[in-house]
Structure 1
Amino acid sequence: MLQAARHSAIIDAVQRERVVRVSDLAQLLGVSPMTVRRDIEALEEAGRVERIHGGAKLPGDASTHEPGFELKSTQLTAEKHAIAVEAASLVQEGMAIGLGAGTTTWALAKELVNGPRITVVTNSVRIADLFHHGSSSGPARFGSTVILIGGERTPSDALVGPIATSSLKQLHLDVLFLGVHGMDAHAGFTTPNLLEAETNRAFMSSARSTVILADHSKWGVVGIASITRLEEVDELITDSLLGEDARRVLAENVAKLRIAEA
């Protein structure tokens, strides 16, 4: 494929998906990842896309753009599954856990739906439905108690706002599993939604420990609203495609870094 055609295809993919991976583009275009990286560099110089770790996105789009659940649920599925399996190993019978909204925590819910009997508090309609109806692998066992807090619904199907925050202040959880929009050495863990940031901070205050679930594509992405600093979480679970520089920064700042093999 000629360079001009590749550039056009990359721009179309970025405009359609908002965020694309080098590996996906290489497969789509039938070229090497190195060729894709050079194309992305050229397109960035022209102001058409913005490079991120492992891919490209729309210029200036990440801070306030919030992709819908359906789109995000089709991206990085192997990495999210690996993270979910690792996170599920931390859950024991009788625990009261929090599950924030998002596709990675949804992947964790799929691992837990027929697992130990626990109490789940969530602000995700999707996760609550999953525990009620079961996953594609089988019906739910109905052994766990699920508490769905109320609030205003976001594009990613999170319930946020004053009602959600007020509900969380009355609860006491053993551990919170939280997904994020981005993670950065200076900005910490962030989201593109101001109300979601406030709700997630209330979630953290209700839990004895907080575990962040974030795949490698989240590194270097900065949403408009900060949730918390890197050093304020107890654990971070990410996948094995995270770069060495990012691993070093995170290992130096978060209390415990877990790498899940995708």
Structure 2
Amino acid sequence: MSLNERQQQLLGMLESAGEVKVAGLKEHFGVTEMTIRRDLEKLELAGYVKRTFGGAILASKDVAIGDRAGVMADEKQAIGRAAAALVQENDSIFIDGGTTTLHVARYLKPDLNITVVTNALNIAIELLERKITTVVTGGMALETTATLVGPGTVETIGKMAFDRVFLGATGLTAKHGFSNSNMYEAEIKRMAIAQASETNIVVDHTKYGAKELFSFAALGEAHRIISSEPPEESLLQACREQTVEVVIASKNV
């Protein structure tokens, strides 16, 4: 079943939060409540979500960490390829959970003698299959994202030093910076940034202008944004003022 861009964005929000509310979606997208309900109905018919009173949840864990990879797949693949190209020999890097960051892991070169730390179980499996040295943080497992979070994860990351980190974000605005709808994952991202020499944020263009509850970094705290399309001029200008490099990944590689 074909999804329009708004429906793809809506599904992306569900992937990050596990649950959405009609009232919030109506305000976020600037459309009527009926439009949002029709979108959710279509996603339910496609098997992605289950509607609830006032909103929707992901249909299952398999959708959360499996089928969701098909949303903006070409863009995420291109972003992952461009991000992985930044990794240098003997680097120690951190990759957090997400469908875009998963593509970063998939494009890493095994012969670079790198070490990758991750709190994402699916990314750890991907790295092990590629014979890349992998360190998995401890912590409590979140079912919808297959990530490890909590005090144990924060403590582990706090004792490490990374050459560069690759983090996903649910939202990006000049004022609110980089944000995520899950406070536990936002906490992990903050700690990873604190321990990194270089911070790379990987986001597809649907995250521009979105603002989630938990900001994990101001715009200027990132060294680089890697995306599929350039942001609107006002956000691009804000990036220039904060000396944040914006890399636009090519899908024609």
TM-score (norm 1): 0.71
Change (3 A) 1:17 1:219: closer
Query: Of 192, 205, 208, which aligns to 1:216?
Result: 205
Counterpart position of 1:36: none
Q: What residue number does 1:31 align with?
A: none
- The separation in 1 between residues aligned to 2:111 and 2:99, in whole angstroms, is 19
State the shift of 1:77 in Å. 1.0
The residue type paired with residue 136 of structure 2 is: L
- In structure 1, list runs of 5 or more residues that go unmatched: 1-8, 21-39, 51-56, 134-139
**What letter is aligned with 2:10?**
R
Establish whether residue 118 from structure 1 lines up as the match of residue 114 from structure 2.
yes
**8 Å CA contact retained: 2:180, 2:186:** yes
For the pair 1:153 / 2:149, whether they are aligned, the reply is no
Alpha-carbon spacing, 1:192–1:49, altered in 2? closer, same or farther (3 Å): farther
Shift of 1:202: 0.8
Partner SS, residue 186 of structure 1: coil
Check the 8 A contact 2:230/2:236 in 1, yes or no: no
In the TM superposition, what are the counterparts of 1:190-205 in structure 2 within 5 Å?
190-205=179-194
Q: Cα distance, 1:120 vs. partner?
A: 0.4
Distance 1:241 1:234, change over 3 A: closer
Residue segments in structure 2 that go unaligned for 5+ positions in a row: 13-25, 37-42, 44-50, 57-62
SS at match of 1:203: helix
Identity of aligned residues (%): 29
Structure 2 residue aligned with 1:18, among 10, 27, 35?
10
Q: Is the 8 A contact 2:9 2:206 kept in 1?
A: no
TM alignment of 1:1-262, pairs within 5 A? 14=7, 18-19=10-11, 44-49=30-35, 68-112=64-108, 114-133=110-129, 140=130, 142=131, 144-154=132-142, 155-240=144-229, 242-262=231-251
Q: Per the alignment, in what secondary structure is the counterpart of residue 207 of structure 1?
A: coil
Offset of residue 156 of structure 1: 1.6
**Residue aligned with 2:110, SS:** coil
Distance 1:255 1:191, change over 3 A: same
Give how far 1:210 is off: 0.6
- The answer as to whether partners of 1:113 and 1:130 remain within 8 angstroms in 2 is no
Deviation sequence 1:26-85 (CA, Å, 0-9, x none): xxxxxxxxxxxxxx9xx95533347xxxxxx99x979xxxx8222431111111111111
CA distance in 2, matches of 1:10, 1:79: 15
Q: Which has the larger radius of gyration?
A: 1
**What amino acid sits opposite 1:18 in the alignment?**
L
CA distance in 1: counterparts of 2:55 and 2:30, whole angstroms: 14
Q: Report the CA distance between 1:256 and its aligned residue.
A: 1.2
- Detail structure 1 runs of 4+ shifted over 6 Å in the superposition: none
Q: Label 1:232 to 1:159 Cα distance change in 2 as closer, same or farther (>3 A).
A: same
Alpha-carbon shift at residue 10 of structure 1 (Å): 8.0
Q: How big is the shift at 1:243?
A: 4.0
CA RMSD of aligned residues (A): 3.2
Give the whole-Å Cα distance in 2 for the aligned partners of 1:153 and 1:196: 11
- Cα distance in 2 for residues equivalent to 1:70 and 1:216: 21
2:70 corresponds to which letter in structure 1?
Answer: T
Change (3 A) 1:232 1:173: same
Displacement of 1:258: 1.0
